[in-house]
Structure 1
Amino acid sequence: MVYRFKLVSDEVSNFAREIEIDSENTFLQLRNAVLDSVDFAKDELDSFFLCDDDWQKQEEITLEDMGHTASDTDTWLMEETPLSELIEEEGQRMIFVYDYLTERSFFMELKEIYPSRTLADPVCTFKKGKAPKQSVDLDEFDKKIDLKAQDKIEDLDIDVFSTDDFNEEDLGDGFDIMNIN
């Protein structure tokens, strides 16, 4: 059985990839196909997350066991986990986090299942647009975050230093200064 995944980015609007992979291949093989399709190095830690319909993370499939999961939680390792063990139906969503430091990721969806086909190696069958950079300069990233935060504050139209709402009568409530003679 062959799965066809579509891959998009929230950073680059015209970016897309489609990858076909056999359902018995592992998440590690899917990882390598994703990284190859965007020309990323394979020297960083990354993870897949199975998601619900609202892209809320459910299960994590990790490159390495970091020992951070609770003892009653299964640890899924990419190298040991076939896709078919966790993915069964079209529409299944996943997030592939490729940059933990800045939480940058690709959003993936299983678009189609070909039950009568097999595939020896994963293949990228569709490429559109240029992929985002694998890593970003942290100073540049911080500046973008600061600008977005400033825009949000301006959108609220609040002057945090304004005295318009200041009421002197409220100032003394419970904090009256005692007159000591």
Structure 2
Amino acid sequence: MIYKFRIISSESDDFIREVAIDSQSTFLDLNNFILEELGYEKSQVTSFFITDRNWHKETEITLIDMTEGQNPEIKVMDKTKLGELITEKKQRLLFVFDQFAERSLFLELFAMEDKVIEKPVCTRRQGKPPLQFDENAIEKLDPDNLDPDELMNNDDSDTFDNGDSNLNPFDEEDWY
């Protein structure tokens, strides 16, 4: 099964990436592909979080098991396949690429196809990704003022090329 994810950022209004990856790939495969696609260094600790519809963190998938195997509930990227935790269209994830400033990318599964692909591919590139290392990121992102739902339903008509002021970047009908 091919999973197609749309990725956006709260820091870069015009940034969108769409990636296709096999459901039997691991979260580490997706992690490495995102880092490579965005030109980010792989030396940083990252995490994925499965979230609810309101972007509240539910299940963490870590790069490294800091409990050294003591907690069997810990999900580790290299041992967890995407299809184990992602099972339905519109499922949402956070990809935390800057643990210290809690900077994340927002992902949503927008399509599932009954096909197989050997390696992940980027099917859409729009805008520049946020900088991986941004000295001002902590100042820019005040957690009390960050509302992912507002971000997902951004009403700035100049944010997206088609001028639809009610465009939700994760509403696939608007993209096809």
Please confirm whether the aligned pair reaches a TM-score higher than 0.5, indicating the same fold: yes
TM-superposed CA distance for 1:143, in Å, is: 5.0
Which structure 2 residue ranges, 5 or more long, are not aligned? 146-176
Encode CA deviations 1:142-166: one digit per residue, 9 max, x unaligned.
Answer: 55469x99xxxxxxxxxxxxxxxxx
Aligned to 1:90: 89
SS class of match (1:79)? helix
SS class of match (2:36)? helix
TM-score (norm 2): 0.76
Partner letter of residue 106 of structure 2? F
Aligned to 2:102: 103
TM-superposed CA distance for 1:36, in Å, is: 1.5
Distance 1:76 1:15, change over 3 A: same
Count of residue pairs the alignment pairs up = 144
Encode CA deviations 1:25-79: one digit per residue, 9 max, x unaligned.
Answer: 00000011111121111110000000000000000000000129994x7111100
Partner letter of residue 83 of structure 1? L
TM-superposed CA distance for 1:102, in Å, is: 0.4
Aligned sequence identity (%): 40
Q: Distance in 2 between matches of 1:91 and 1:57?
A: 15
Aligned to 2:79: 80
Contact 1:17 1:37 in 2 (8 A): no
Larger radius of gyration: 1
SS class of match (1:28)? helix
TM-superposed CA distance for 1:119, in Å, is: 0.5
Matched, 1:67 2:54: no
Aligned to 1:164: none
SS class of match (2:42)? coil
Aligned to 1:17: 17
Aligned to 2:40: 40
Q: Distance in 1 between matches of 2:14 and 2:24?
A: 31
Partner letter of residue 98 of structure 2? D
- Write the mapping of 1:51-62 to structure 2, written as runs, cut at 5 A: 51-62=51-62
- Between 35-44 and 2-11, report the one with greater CA deviation: 35-44
- Between 35-44 and 49-58, report the one with greater CA deviation: 35-44
TM-score (norm 1): 0.74
TM-superposed CA distance for 1:114, in Å, is: 0.2
Aligned-residue CA RMSD (Å): 2.2
Aligned to 1:159: none
Selected match of 1:123 from 112, 121, 124: 121
